[in-house]
Amino acid sequence: MPAGGRTAPLDKGVGQIRLLTGCAGLALILATSAWAAAEPRLSALIWTAPGHEVAALTRQPAMCSKAKADDADVLIGEALFNAPMLLGGQAARADISCASCHSNGRRNPHFRLEGVSAGPGTADVSSSFFSPARANGRFDPKPIPDLAYPGRISRAPTTGDLERFLRGLIVEEFSGREPSRSALSALAAYVSAIGDCGAVQEQPRRLADQVLLVRLSVMAAGRLIASGETETAAIAVAGARHQLGLIDERYAGASLDRERGQLLAASRALQPIAQSRAPDPAELQRWLAGFDRVLVPLLRRSEARSLYSEARAVRRVRQD
């Protein structure tokens, strides 16, 4: 099933989402507070190989999920997979998430980060750039794997091998905080659900992709609050704000001031929920209802004037 088809209800619960989310919206706030700059930065191009900019902005690997549409663990895992705060450290500061290298859980063939990559689609997982824990003093980038195809790590749910592997990546490779057992279980469920779409290996990159991830992240936060996973919920809320920032980057130019203003307001509205010592899950529900009722239709109406338009993306790359 295509990723865009998933929906799930927002569960109620109580708990505390901590200040961890505060810096997740910083890039969004900085970008939208200076509207005089007609062309805000496109963060994904920071780790895109020269000559690959148009492809990276307009296309993405196709992803077909093997999970049921309402599989809570897969939904939460996808939200965390797309949240830079999960990785922490340099990755979070650079807005790099698991999905930066593994777009839609597949392989990002355009990824290239100076000092970490050799050619496009490669990364040195033993580099000290993200963490000294696995640094080996050598520059030895390897091709980024496609997670639709199991590698040497067993994905059998009874072994726990995949969860241990993911924990090592987060804590040792990227200096992230120790993830909870349920967070690792959700990430493993998402990775295990990534499928190959067969003959359809690419799909357009559209506003709907980011809108879906905003929704998934907010819904994941609600579920996590209900289960008492407040620190992981904070990562999910930060992920929602990150996705709002990615949308903001593409709504460039004075003619889209209204859209960027609404995006900024939406991000700021999540902040007090994140910082509350006793957040009301109903606030997340109300936020999501308003997002779907007001902001999403506004963004859709002007999508053709944004950098989700391939023609506009091409012009932007040529200007740069």
- The answer to whether 35 touches 251, Cβ cutoff 8 Å, is no
Q: Is 262 within 8 Å of 291 (Cβ atoms)?
A: no
* Mean pLDDT value across residues 64-91: 92
Smallest Cα–Cα separation from 226: which of 236, 215, 239, 240? 236
Which residue bears the tokens 């049921």?
A: 68
Cα separation values, 123 from 117, 119, 130, 246, 257, Å: 4, 9, 11, 23, 37
Q: What pLDDT is attached to residue 22? A: 41
pLDDT band for position 32 (cuts 50, 70, 90) = very low
Residue carrying the six token digits 């012009």: 315
How distant is the alpha carbon of residue 181 from its chain centre? 20
- Quick one: pLDDT band at residue 280, thresholds 50, 70, 90? confident
Pair 82, 214: CB distance under 8 Å = no
Residue 3 reports pLDDT greater than 80: no
Q: Note the pLDDT of residue 15.
A: 34
Number of separate helices (H) and strands (E) present in the chain: 13, 6
CA-to-CA distance for 234 and 17, rounded, in angstroms?
5
Domain of residue 230: give its range: 3-319
Q: How far apart are CA 163 and CA 224, in angstroms?
A: 18
Cα dihedral 64, 66, 68, 73 in deg (nearest 10): -100
Q: What is the rounded distance in angstroms from the CA atom of residue 176 to the CA atom of residue 131?
A: 9
pLDDT for residue 55 is more than 60: yes
CB 115 within 8 A of CB 123: no
| Beta-strand relationship, 202-204 and 194-195 | unpaired
Instruction: Please state the pTM of the whole predicted model.
Output: 0.86
Average pLDDT over residues 105-119: 95
Domain count for the chain, please give it: 1
Nearest to 105 by CA among 2, 234, 245: 2
* pLDDT for the residue 39: 59
- The pLDDT value given to residue 137: 87
Averaged pLDDT for residues 178-184 = 96
Mean pLDDT of the chain: 86
Q: Give which of 133, 227, 145 is closest to 186, Cα–Cα.
A: 227
- Can you tell me which residue has the tokens 């939200």? 79
CB burial of residue 239 (10 Å; 0-12, 13-18, 19+) = buried
Core vs surface per residue 252-264: b (16+ CB within 10 A) or e: bbeebeebbebbb
Distances (CA, A) of 314 to 40, 50, 101, 123: 15, 14, 22, 26
Q: How many C-beta neighbours within 10 Å does residue 18 have?
A: 16
Q: How would residue 77 be classed by pLDDT, with cut points 50, 70 and 90?
A: very high
Instruction: Tell me which of 59-73, 94-108, 209-223, 229-243 is least confident.
Output: 59-73
**pLDDT value of position 6:** 47
Whether the predicted pLDDT of 127 surpasses 90 = no
**Percent of the chain residues topping a pLDDT of 90:** 66
pLDDT of residue 100: 96
CA–CA separation, 127 vs 141, rounded Å?
Answer: 9
Q: Would you place residue 320 in the very low, low, confident or very high pLDDT band (cuts 50, 70, 90)?
A: confident
% pLDDT > 70, the chain = 87
Q: What is the pLDDT of residue 129?
A: 85
Mean pLDDT, rounded, for 195-222: 94
pLDDT given at position 40: 60
Q: What is the predicted pLDDT for the residue at 110?
A: 97
Query: For residue 29, is pLDDT > 50?
Result: no
Residue 133's pLDDT is what? 84
Q: Is 114 exposed, middle or buried (CB count within 10 Å of its CB: 0-12, 13-18, 19+)?
A: exposed
Find the range with the poorest average confidence among 41-55, 170-184, 273-287. Answer: 273-287
Of the ranges 24-28, 100-104, 163-167, 211-215, which one carries the lowest mean pLDDT score? 24-28
Between CA 60 and CA 90, with CA 50 as vertex, the angle to 5 degrees is 75
